[in-house]
């Protein structure tokens, strides 16, 4: 399966378009634990156009009751992206200095597990947590500086590409 480049511009454009609204093609998970990873998955899909329909371990959305856990769950999305050898996006945990627009960041905000998945929309200078700007759902935001969150732990996921 050939590796294709992730369209970061398409992912970021989608992030901006839907940062403070909900795309009616997808369910809103705000009242079901939060919409952040659903939104991040939509952005990833905008940059790849390929889902992975592998039962239980894939990454796909066909409706509220027909979706992979990785589409809407922080930990399952992480596990999918860093372990995916099949169709769809794949990536790796990366240092802050390796990130680019369209990559993901996952945050621990006081609970024992990572529970929030913003999309990186800008990496500015001088480089640092305050110059990394994100878009997210649940606490809807666009161009939010990463250092405005009460972060207890952080991990960055660099999207390396996708397989069709």
Residues 6+ apart with CB under 8 A from 152: 107, 108, 109, 110
Q: What tens digit of pLDDT does each residue of 34-44 get?
A: 999 999 999 99
pLDDT tens readout for residues 84-97: 999 999 999 999 99
Q: Is 155 exposed, middle or buried (0-12, 13-18, 19+ CB in 10 A)?
A: middle
Residue with tokens 């947590």: 129
Enclosing domain of residue 100: 3-163
Q: Confidence band (pLDDT; 50, 70, 90) for 111?
A: confident
Query: Considering the chain, what percentage of its residues have pLDDT values greater than 90?
Result: 91
* pLDDT (mean) for 113-122: 97
pLDDT band, residue 110 (cuts 50/70/90): confident
Q: How many domains does the chain have?
A: 1
Tell me the whole-structure pTM to 2 decimals.
0.96
Q: Which pLDDT does position 1 carry in this prediction?
A: 84
Average pLDDT over residues 140-145: 98
| Cα 64 off chain centre by | 18
- Give CA separation, 110 vs 33, 49, 114, 149, 153, in Å: 16, 34, 9, 11, 9
């Amino acid at each position: 399966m050939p590796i294709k480049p992730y369209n970061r511009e398409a992912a970021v454009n989608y992030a901006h378009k839907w940062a403070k609204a909900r795309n009616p093609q997808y369910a809103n998970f705000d009242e079901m634990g939060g919409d952040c990873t659903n939104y991040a998955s939509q952005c990833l899909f905008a940059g790849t156009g390929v889902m992975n329909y592998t039962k239980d371990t894939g990454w796909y959305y066909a409706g509220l009751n027909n979706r992979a856990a990785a589409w809407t769950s922080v930990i399952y999305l992480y596990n999918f992206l860093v372990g995916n050898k099949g169709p769809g996006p794949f990536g790796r945990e990366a240092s802050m200095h390796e990130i680019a627009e369209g990559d993901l960041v996952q945050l621990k905000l006081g609970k024992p597990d990572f529970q929030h998945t913003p999309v990186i929309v800008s990496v500015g200078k001088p480089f640092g947590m305050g110059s990394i700007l994100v878009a997210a759902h649940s606490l809807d935001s666009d161009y939010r500086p990463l250092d405005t969150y009460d972060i207890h732990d952080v991990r960055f996921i660099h999207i390396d590409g996708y397989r069709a």
